[in-house]
Structure 1
């Protein structure tokens, strides 16, 4: 989705729009989300395929509560609009589709392989891989930055998870296909169902081989940890290990590359910000946070009401579906001053781009580190960038992604 500030003029309509249609997101939705926030705290929608009603929340306060209050708003039935009315077949079996206390059975052990301390210990190796990935850009000239960034999560989380690099390209491609099966770049077959079936087949074939190898030779990585952990008094079988691998990799590959691309594009469109935004590690840290807020790679997060409750003056019943418009929350004027300005010095920046509560993104430390190192390297080697061709956005109602972004990279005449 192209990111622009809403134009001046009358509010746009939102009550007659199918918010589940991926085609809607080919245009910037921030004008519509602004109209929602100004008009109401809650909107009523219908999922066309199932006829199921769901409630949308465009403001920060309600979104913040929904993503953090797992006791009332559960994740087990599904976390994206595609789940509304049908649920998710992996419900209760993966870290993203489980609620506490069982959620903790998987989260706590896996944090030992993806947490801050582990990421810091491996910082030198991660930086080298990030530098190698970005090397074509650091050398200057024209390159498709979005296509290069497809592997950014894998060069970080790949090793932490214990995924051999021979699988990285396949996993990066098919995880995106599984979340955007209607995107022209990822279509394989004559229908969405065929694309999804192919993507899942390729991914789970990779996971099966990796799990077999780790059972034979375990290491200090996430897959090995999943193989040995227990939940409800029993170890995970191979299917649940594979489902959790899928969940972790889906989260990484659907977010980090797109924050990188949208952030670089924002800087390219504002060349006066380049040097200040990349002056030193402290400024790069702020840049990454603003890049995450600006991009908000997940447009929405869905939850299901676990007990009758009231929110925004409306009574919700157990079983109701709710949709937190996280991208809208991250532009809420009551929380973010001048929210349609890309401000790499913004602080504080309490964005929800990494979620919140028990489902706060477990890969956030590695994502932040990778993005910080990437922009560190770009800032040291380059004096600026500019678009070099048409930009292609991912066709998805969930992920705000870029699939192609040709850029021209200008090397510094002398190193900083």
Structure 2
């Protein structure tokens, strides 16, 4: 999705023409004008999916955060994305599709592997993975499709943590993206249904084999933890372990890569920020947080009411679907001054890119670490870079992705490279 904000009140999109469901709108335009209008005039607004399933959209920061925080009124077990608004077949069985107390049974034992402390400890190892990924492109210079390159960044961050051997790192990201955006031409392999089926089958085959291996020889990774955890007084069955492996991999691959691509695009379009960052490398942590707010890789999170609840003056009954538009909340003018500016010094920056509450993304720390390391490698290796061709955006109302981003890299001079070495 393009990042243009509203051009002015005279260009604001009329309420009756707003369609937040249509995936094509995210591939060909920007939804920020629509979200801006909804925040001002209709912070809760009725919509329908392409199949006619009704849902409510909430767009202001306050209501989005409240929906995501209140896991007693809003359930995740029915489904968490609009693509499965009719109900997710894995509901109640994976970490992202569970309510308490089952959610805590899975989250707490696996958090240790992705905590801030552990992620920082793994920093040197992750840096080596990042270097191997980008060194050739950055050092040689020339035109590179950044979207394809960044698609492999999440494996550098959490591939080993999840329990994925390196031989799967090259192919798995594409299968994962096909699983969340089967209608996108870049990932399509036949019809959307056929694409989705192939992606699921391939990922399931990989994890089935890895589960078999970990049963025989456990390690210190997510797969091994899932096999050994106490799941409400019993072990997980084979299907539950498999579905949760799938969920961890999908959550990592489909988000971190998109933040990185949007970050490089934002810096290329704003060379003054790149110059500032090179002069003040201590800004890297702040730029990482701003990139997360800016990209908001997960456009929405879906919840289902389990009891009567009121949102922005509207009463909802049990069983109603609510889409919390995280990407809109991260542009809320009441929380973020100049929300349509990429501000490398933004502070505070209480973005919701990782969600909030019990379901806050467990992979947040490794994502923050790997994006920071990517920036550090860029600062060490690149003088400048610019967009070198058309940018293609993902056809998805869920993931804010880029499928093609050609960029021309200008590496550091030979003299400076020798100093760095």
- Coarse TM-score class (shorter-chain normalised): over 0.9
Per-residue deviation at 1:234?
Answer: 1.2
Alpha carbons 2:153, 2:256 under 8 Å: kept: yes
- Is this contact kept in 2: 1:278–1:375, CA < 8 A? no
Structure 1 residue 95 displacement after superposition = 0.3
The answer to whether residue 69 in structure 2 is matched with residue 68 in structure 1 is: yes
Secondary structure of 2:143's aligned partner? strand
The answer for the alignment partner of 2:296 in structure 1 is 296
Query: How many Å apart are 1:40 and its aligned residue?
Result: 1.7
Q: Paired residue for 1:77?
A: 78
Gaps of 5+ in 2: none
CA distance in 2 between counterparts of 1:70 and 1:170 reads: 35
Q: Deviation at 1:276? A: 2.0
8 A Cα contact 2:20 2:31, kept in partner? no
Matches within 5 A, 1:158-177: 158-177=159-178
CA displacement at 1:124 relative to structure 2: 0.8
CA distance in 2 between counterparts of 1:279 and 1:286 reads 14
What SS does the corresponding residue of 1:23 show, helix, strand or coil?
A: helix
Q: How is 1:137-286 mapped onto 2 (pairs within 5 angstroms)?
A: 137-139=137-139, 140-189=141-190, 191-279=191-279, 282-286=282-286
Asked if residue 35 in structure 1 is aligned to residue 37 in structure 2, the reply is: yes
Q: What TM-score results when the alignment is normalised by the length of structure 2?
A: 0.95
Partners of 1:342 and 1:380 in 2: CA distance: 22
Give, in angstroms, the shift of residue 309 of structure 1.
1.1
- Rounded Cα–Cα distance in structure 2 between residues aligned with 1:278 and 1:165: 32
Superimposed CA distance per residue, residues 106-161 of structure 1 (whole angstroms, 9 cap, x where no aligned partner): 00100121212221221111111011111123202221111011110011111111
Q: Which runs of 4+ in 1 moved over 6 A?
A: none
CA RMSD of aligned residues (A): 1.3
- When structure 1 is superposed on structure 2, of 293-302 and 118-127 the one drifting more is 118-127
Structure-to-structure mapping, 1:115-134, within 5 angstroms: 115-134=115-134
Name 1:406's counterpart in structure 2. Answer: 406
Matched positions, count: 413
Q: Which residue of 1 aligns with 2:98?
A: 98
Give SS of 1:153's match: helix
Deviation at 1:166? 1.2
- Contact 1:277 / 1:283 at 8 angstroms: preserved in 2? yes
Contact kept in structure 2, 1:277 and 1:345, CA below 8 Å: no
Supply the distance in 2 between the matched residues of 1:280 and 1:244 (Cα, whole angstroms): 41
d(CA) in 2 for partners of 1:61, 1:328: 11
Q: Which moved more, 1:315-324 or 1:278-287?
A: 278-287
1:10 matched residue in structure 2: 11
User: Contact between 2:300 and 2:326, CA under 8 Å: does it hold in 1?
Assistant: yes
- Map of 2:365 onto structure 1: 365
Aligned residues of 1:275 and 1:379 also touching (Cα < 8 A): no
Q: What CA distance in whole angstroms lies between the structure 2 residues aligned with 1:221 and 1:366?
A: 14
The 2-side partners of 1:319 and 1:287 are apart by 40
Deviation at 1:279, TM superposition (A): 4.5
Query: 1:206/1:280 Cα in 2 relative to 1: closer, same or farther (>3 Å)?
Result: farther
Gaps of 5+ in 1: none
In 2, Cα distance between the equivalents of 1:370 and 1:14?
40
In structure 2, distance between residues paired with 1:282 and 1:156: 21
